[in-house]
Amino acid sequence: MTLQEILKAVDDLSLDEQTVLLNVLQVKLSETVQNDQFDQSRGERFWQGILNFRAVIEREGLVYTEDDFANLRDRTPGREIEL
């Protein structure tokens, strides 16, 4: 359905149906804006967490090398898969 067909279909609705449609669209738009703001703030909170971690490392004078992270990976093949 093209935009023009949608607009024509909206024109064919009663005033009450158009009002309900407008309200539904406003709710959907509000949800979309809130989700976008949540995603943005989540990314900002993550980055702030990284910066806080780095600040603690520097403040405490902690020194770490690649050897500290050498054996952190789980090298097991994972769960058994039944075929």
Q: What pLDDT is stored for residue 64 in this prediction?
A: 83
pLDDT tens-digit map of 42-68: 778 888 889 999 899 888 888 888 888
> What's the rounded Cα separation, in Å, for the pair 39 and 44?
9
Residue 79: partners with Cβ closer than 8 Å, 6 or more residues away = none
pTM of the model: 0.40
Residue 15 dihedral angles phi and psi, to the nearest 5°: -60, -40
- pLDDT at residue 37 greater than cutoff 80: no
- pLDDT at residue 18 greater than cutoff 80: yes
**Average pLDDT in the 58-80 region?**
85
Percentage above 70 pLDDT, the chain: 96
